[in-house]
Chains A and B, each alone.
Chain A
Amino acid sequence: MRIVRVMALIPSIRGSLLPRYDKGFFLSLLPFASIIFAIFLALACIVASVSQQSISKFGVRLLTESVWRPSEAGEEFVSYGLLAPLYGTLVTSVTAAAMALPLSLSTVYFMEELAPPKLRELFSTLIDLMAGLPTVLYGLWGVEVMIPFLRDNLMAPLHELLPWVPLFSCEPLSGASLLSAGMVLAIMIIPFMHSLIRDAYGSVPMTYREAILSLGANRYEYFKMMLSLIKPAIIASLLLGLGRASSETVAVALVVGNSFNVSPCIFSPGYTIPSLIANQFSESNFYPYMQSALYAGGLVLLILGVVFSTTGLIMMRKAREMYG
């Protein structure tokens, strides 16, 4: 039965110029190409089966509690709640996307409309460089250079000046915090968001640009109207940027502070799901349910990723359709 199905997928040679032995070519590539299916299948099976144990034990408490108590003493002492890392993941990625957006838009405007060709070339090299730089270097720079600077020059003054604002209500200790993670992530997703927006910006036909200018728009108004023409792409870049930010691991693990906290204060250290996994997975074999709980975290991460990227890709398609 199954064999027949597979045969049906082999391209028909009727009415085509291709000789019969193409089938051999097709079949010899097929196993290689199928590996990618196998990877997904394995991922789905393993994430589902390993996380199942903790999901059935803790149920919804996995998402609503933030007590993380690995214990060998007995089942009744064990508690795993992913609320803090989930909260941290969302807060840091939203912060990152919100900060990266104006910066990405500005680089798009700067490169497309202001910079002379040489400078534009330099900028695009720099942005490619940022995109490819090993993420651990962002983390290293973040924890050793950016955090001390931010703590002394931004967090401490803000806390002293506006201690009654919930966002700034806690004293920055080491400086490793949700805000620091958000900022490092913002830097890391700029090239990604930038290139999505720039592609869309470049695809707006000349005639709309001329129409905007012919209405007497100045440069600011021109850019504003151009942005409104590519709104779906901008939303897509935000969503895909969120997806990127929420799945980043090592850079965040170095700067987020790694502590279970659900605090409105952005100066407080926190956790994200990937940084939790990075920190705890290696010892998860020693504690009952821990590995399963971490896999449940992985599942949550996957679901978040699917939500962000599918909605993002839908918006992207919408943006592409707009101008053929």
Chain B
Amino acid sequence: MRKVALLTENLGVKIGGKEILRNLNIELPERRILAVMGPSGSGKSTLLRAVNRLLDTVPSCEVSGRVVIHGVDAYSSDPYKVRRLTGMVFQVPNPFPNMSIYDNVAIGPKLNGLVKDRRELDDLVRWALERAMLWDEVRERLKDPPHKLSGGQQQRLCLARALALRPKLLLLDEPTANVDPINAAKIEEALRSLVETQEISIIFVTHTPHQAMRISDYVAFLYMGELVEFGLTQEIALNPKHELTRRFLKGEV
């Protein structure tokens, strides 16, 4: 029996009185990839931000229900602890422009006291960059500012930055939406190998059904803030229970 990486119970989100997510129940086993799909405005990004409590920063936002990450009840513990358990990669590559490539990766571990000395930090940075499939491209220029990298490399740098936190759960918000196909393929490969080799689980938001089918184990389909369908990717691909899912997979919604 695998442990549960993420559990949501009747998760609901209201922003300014408007219901963004309603009654979400998801259970993701450890070391699995969950793809969250749905048309824009269906609440995909909000779901990610509800998990790591980034929604705390949104004024007039109410979260109801429960989110449990590796046995930690997110909303009854310290938000910073929750965010340290989860790493996040965003839609547009956003490495910190004022830090070098190395420092972008090192900042998380430094902030959270994950390493004892410089050597350990070097090792962790290298490990994270390797896992993000970026090490070979940047090993010679770790001191460069990140804007010298291509957009796709920057996104992988962001992945490394998140991984250096040694998160249990990785959240990705359309990580390949602003990236060329070659870099997108590298990121997908990196994600796949992460769950196969590391103690890590992944949730990623995508708007392309093909990507979801390619790399996910589970699929959640959101529509207007509701979980229309949730289950194993293979099953849903073959036999979507819901008309909306079927149409989305065909690219009609």
Interface residues of A (CB under 8 A from B): 205, 207-211, 213-218, 221, 225, 228-229, 231, 322
Q: Are A213 and B57 in contact (CB under 8 A)?
A: yes
Q: Are A213 and B111 in contact (CB under 8 A)?
A: no
B88 interface contact, C-beta 8 A: yes
Least CB distance, B93 to chain A, in whole angstroms? 9
Interface residues of B (CB under 8 A from A): 49, 52, 54, 57, 80-81, 83-84, 86-88, 90-92, 94, 96-99, 107-108, 111-112, 158, 161-162, 165, 171
Chain B residues within an 8 Å CB radius of A322 = 97-98
Q: Are B54 and A216 in contact (CB under 8 A)?
A: no
Q: Are A211 and B94 in contact (CB under 8 A)?
A: yes
Cβ-defined partner of B94 (8 Å) among A208, A216, A221, A231: A208
Chain B residues within an 8 Å CB radius of A225 = 96, 107
Closest 6 interchain pairs by CB?
A: A216-B84, A214-B88, A216-B83, A215-B108, A207-B94, A216-B80
Q: List 9 A-B contacts (CB under 8 A).
A: A208-B96, A211-B88, A211-B94, A211-B158, A214-B88, A215-B108, A215-B112, A216-B84, A228-B98
Known: A211-B94, A229-B96, A229-B98. A216 touches B112 (CB 8 A): yes
Instruction: Determine the distance from Cα of A221 to Cα of B98 in the docked complex, in whole angstroms.
Output: 16
Q: Are A214 and B83 in contact (CB under 8 A)?
A: yes
Chain B residues within an 8 Å CB radius of A214 = 52, 54, 83, 86-88, 162, 171
Question: Is chain A's interface secondary structure helix, strand, loop, or mixed overall?
Answer: helix
Q: Are A210 and B92 in contact (CB under 8 A)?
A: no
Cβ-defined partner of B57 (8 Å) among A209, A215, A221, A229: A209
Chain A residues within an 8 Å CB radius of B107 = 215, 225
Give the interface centre of B52, B107, B162 by most chain A CB atoms within 10 Å.
B107
Residue of A nearest to B158 (CB): A211
Known: A210-B90, A211-B88, A216-B112. A229 touches B97 (CB 8 A): yes
Q: Are B90 and A211 in contact (CB under 8 A)?
A: yes
Least CB distance, A5 to chain B, in whole angstroms? 42
Instruction: Determine the distance from Cα of A221 to Cα of B108 in the docked complex, in whole angstroms.
Output: 11
Known: A209-B57, A229-B96, A229-B98. A218 touches B80 (CB 8 A): yes
Cβ-defined partner of B161 (8 Å) among A210, A215, A217, A228: A215
Instruction: Determine the distance from Cα of A215 to Cα of B171 in the docked complex, in whole angstroms.
Output: 12
Chain B residues within an 8 Å CB radius of A218 = 80
Instruction: Determine the distance from Cα of A225 to Cα of B171 in the docked complex, in whole angstroms.
Output: 22
Instruction: Determine the distance from Cα of A323 to Cα of B221 in the docked complex, in whole angstroms.
Output: 34
Least CB distance, B161 to chain A, in whole angstroms? 7
Least CB distance, A30 to chain B, in whole angstroms? 43
Instruction: Determine the distance from Cα of A207 to Cα of B96 in the docked complex, in whole angstroms.
Output: 10
Chain A residues within an 8 Å CB radius of B94 = 205, 207-208, 211
Q: Are A221 and B83 in contact (CB under 8 A)?
A: no
Residue of B nearest to A209 (CB): B57
Chain B residues within an 8 Å CB radius of A216 = 80-81, 83-84, 108, 111-112, 165
Chain B residues within an 8 Å CB radius of A215 = 83-84, 107-108, 111-112, 161, 165
Q: Are A217 and B92 in contact (CB under 8 A)?
A: no
Known A216-B112, A217-B111; further 9 A-B contacts with Cβ < 8 A: A207-B90, A207-B92, A211-B161, A213-B57, A215-B111, A216-B80, A216-B84, A221-B111, A322-B98
Instruction: Determine the distance from Cα of A209 to Cα of B83 in the docked complex, in whole angstroms.
Output: 13
Chain A residues within an 8 Å CB radius of B52 = 214
Instruction: Determine the distance from Cα of A205 to Cα of B97 in the docked complex, in whole angstroms.
Output: 12
Chain A residues within an 8 Å CB radius of B80 = 216-218
Instruction: Determine the distance from Cα of A208 to Cα of B52 in the docked complex, in whole angstroms.
Output: 16
Residue of A nearest to B57 (CB): A213
Chain A residues within an 8 Å CB radius of B111 = 215-217, 221
Instruction: Determine the distance from Cα of A229 to Cα of B103 in the docked complex, in whole angstroms.
Output: 13
Instruction: Determine the distance from Cα of A207 to Cα of B86 in the docked complex, in whole angstroms.
Output: 17
Cβ-defined partner of A213 (8 Å) among B83, B98, B158: B83
